[in-house]
Structure 1
Amino acid sequence: MAAKKKRVVLTDPRAIRALAHPARQRIIDELYSGRVLTATECAELAGLTPSATSYHLRALERWGIIERAESSTDGRERPWKAPATSLVVPNQPNGAGRLASQAIMRSNVDRMMEQFEELPSDDPWDGVSALNRSRLWLTKAETKQLDKDLLEVLDRYRRGRSAANHPAGTRQVSTLLAIIPTGKPPADD
């Protein structure tokens, strides 16, 4: 079995627009967690018909965001999987790519809120839920390094773990990292 790529990086605005649909994002989230799902299973997750879901799956496949997995044992439906362990959408400076990035971010924040609201108040893991919002004064180079450092930390915890393969006692934990410059750029930039 070939090793899975580490990341799929999307820079083409058309590929990024393909992510903007909430149903697609829900499917991507599950596939990139390590699950392998059929179109019917994806349809149930996304709340769509299998026919509509197949359309979305093919669109995601066209941009290399997902791919077909080996056929299932019954041969009726071919499952889908993520071609890498993570999907990266670098900030797009303008146009439709930037709007799609904003839509993706909004959808992810909404999904994180849903997950937090679904967590029972007596859940023994509730105490590890965390939110850290910071305002930092960084140079452009420091900001790029911060992004690299944060991805390395996540990769360290992601390595070798998926929905199908993880140590006993582990639980899926959602994270959301966003780095967004605010204010006006310095005059020398």
Structure 2
Amino acid sequence: MTEARKPLTDPMAMRALAHPARLAILTRLQTEGSATATDVAEVVGITPSAASYHLRMLAKYGFAEDAPARGDGRERLWQVALGGSFIVSPEPDDRPEDRAAKDLLIKAVRDQAAHEVARAMSDFDREPPEWRAASVFHRTLLLVDAEELRRLNEQIDELLSPYRATVRERAQVPAGARISEAQVSLFPRAERRPHGIPRE
């Protein structure tokens, strides 16, 4: 099963999502399913009233929505909105306000990703041997043209797509499956200008 991911173009929505608590809440909904404001507050480390506010903001811009009630239905449940997966990509013809919003959101997502790497590294020695052996932290320099880089991105996306937590049927995953993370950045290196030799 593949997951359609929509390009984000609304600068207001991008600015709203760039808040660290909202990104963390959205990640919680994507990885563990529907939750109340109290549920996500415990994970994110904020008050339930603050979590409720952030959930309403996520809903306002189409990232979250009401989930089917459970139990007696007195608690409001939230879930990721249909099509809640998104792509943010700077374009040459972006208006300045669009580009600023994209840059803000991309930085927020990259900061969250760096935080997850740091958490994984600090906990690495406590992981079971099979998880340590399966983990990879690496960086590869490529020599490609623009078309090859674009095609590589499509191939990686196609490879990862069946494993996305938002679309994979929980009943069909192998025993012992855990939420894991792939971080992919493909981009042309900016030209490095020489720093010059420091004076002694």
- How far apart are residue 161 of structure 1 and its match? 2.4
Matched, 1:138 2:144: yes
- What is the TM-score when the length of structure 2 is the normalising length? 0.78
Asked whether the 8 Å contact 1:6–1:86 carries over to 2, the reply is no
Distance 1:34 1:142, change over 3 A: farther
Runs of 4+ in 1 over 4 A off after TM superposition: 162-165
Structure 2 residue ranges without an equivalent (≥5) = 92-98, 192-200
Q: Within 1, Cα distance between the matches of 2:48 and 2:127?
A: 36
Count the aligned residue pairs: 182
Aligned-pair CA distance for 1:145: 1.6
Higher helix share: 2
In the alignment, what sits opposite 1:181?
188
Q: Which moved more, 1:112-121 or 1:40-49?
A: 112-121
- Check whether the contact 2:2–2:161 (CA below 8 A) recurs between aligned residues: no
SS of corresponding position for 1:179? coil
Q: 1:99 to 1:122 in 2, by over 3 A?
A: closer
Distance 1:34 1:28 in 2: 10
The one-letter code matched in structure 2 to 1:182 is: R
Larger C-alpha radius of gyration, 1 or 2? 2
RMSD, aligned α-carbons: 2.6
Q: 1:52 offset after TM fit, Å? A: 0.8
Matched, 1:105 2:83: no
Instruction: Classify 1:28/1:8 alpha carbon distance in 2 versus 1 (closer, same or farther; 3 Å).
Output: farther
Structure 1 residues 113 and 86, CA gap change in structure 2 (3 angstroms): farther
Gaps of 5+ in 1: 185-189
User: Aligned equivalents of 1:99 and 1:69: distance in 2?
Assistant: 29
